[in-house]
Amino acid sequence: MVERRYSETHEWVTVEGGTATVGISDYAQAQLGDVVFLELPKKDSTLDAGASFGVIESVKAASDLYSPVGGRVVEVNEKLTDSPELVNRDPYGEGWLIKVEVGGDLPPNLLDEAAYKKLTEAS
């Protein structure tokens, strides 16, 4: 299992056995406030790394979601339709967004834990 990496747009990704799991960081969910809705891609759609794959909405904001990895979407977190608050409560666990089938390594531009922490402190 590859340890969690982050994008500059506040998504996180982990990989296990060729499948990447993507979500948004704790910092991002705190900034957004209570999540009310998510627009997520359909299963089997293909994503490019860095491309927008959906929208996350709170009462006061709506942000695009950008995929840290490219590949085919193999699973979408259905629980979030009825319980979007999972993203706030457990952003790294039950609040995962999508799972993507990835080919090779993670893209090199992703940040590790320390680098991401620095990014959020600078904001």
Partner 1 sequence: MTEALSFEKSRPGLPGPRLPAAGVQALPPASVLPAEALRQTPPGLPRLSEPEIMRHYSRLASMNYSISENFYPLGSCTMKYNPVANEAAAALPGFAYLHPYQEEDSAQGALELMWNLERALAAVVGVERVCLQPAAGAHGEWTALRMIQAFHHAAGEARTEVLVPDSAHGTNPASAALCGFRVVEVRSGADGRISLADLESKLSPSTAALMLTNPNTLGLFEREILEVAELVHATGAKLYYDGANLNALMGVCRPGDMGFDAVHLNLHKTFTTPHGGGGPGAGPVGVKEELVPFLPRPTVEKQDGRFRLDFDRPQSIGRVRSFYGNFGMLVRAYTYIVAMGGDGLTQASLDAVLAANYLRGRMEGLLDLPHRGPCMHEFVASARSLAGAGVKALDVAKGLLQRGFYAPTVYFPLIVPEAVMVEPTETEPKATLDAFTGAVAEIVRLAQDDPQRLHEEPDNLPVGRLDEVAAARRPVLRWSPAQESPKELVEQP
Partner 2 sequence: MPYLVYSDEDRAQMLAALGLESVEGLLGDIPPQLRLQRLALNDGLSEQETMDHVRGLAARSRVYPDRLSFRGGGVYRRFIPAAVAAVTSKPEFYTAYTPYQLAASQGTMQAIFEYQTPIAELTAMEVANASLYDGATAVAEGAMMAVVQTGREEVVAAPHLHPEYLEVLRCYGDGRGFRVRVGTSPDQHSAALVVQQPNFLGLLEEMPALTRAAHDAGALMVACVDPISLGLLAPPGQYGADIAVGEGQQLGLAPSFGGPHLGFIACRQELVRRLPGRLVGEARDGGGRRGYVLTLTAREQHIRREKATSNICTNHSLCALAASVYLTYLGPDGLRQVAEISFARAHDLAARLARRPGFELAFPERAFLNEFPIRVPDAGAVLGRLEERGILGGLRAGRWYPDLEDVLVFCCTELNDPAALDELEAALR
Classify residue 26 as exposed, middle or buried by CB count within 10 Å of its CB (0-12, 13-18, 19+). middle
Considering Cα of 41, then 50, then 74, then 117, what sign does the dihedral take?
negative
Instruction: Give the one entry of partner 1, partner 2, none that residue 30 binds, where binding means its C-beta sits below a cut-off of 5 to 8 angstroms depending on kind.
Output: none
| Site for partner 2 contains 30 (CB under 8 A) | no
| Site for partner 1 contains 59 (CB under 8 A) | yes
Classify residue 20 as exposed, middle or buried by CB count within 10 Å of its CB (0-12, 13-18, 19+). buried
Q: Report the site for partner 2 in 43-72 (rule: CB under 8 A).
A: 57-62, 64
| Site for partner 1 contains 37 (CB under 8 A) | yes
Among residues 26, 57, 90, 101, which is the contact residue for partner 1, using CB under 8 A? 57
- Residue numbers at the binding site for partner 1 (CB under 8 A): 33-34, 36-37, 57-59, 84-85
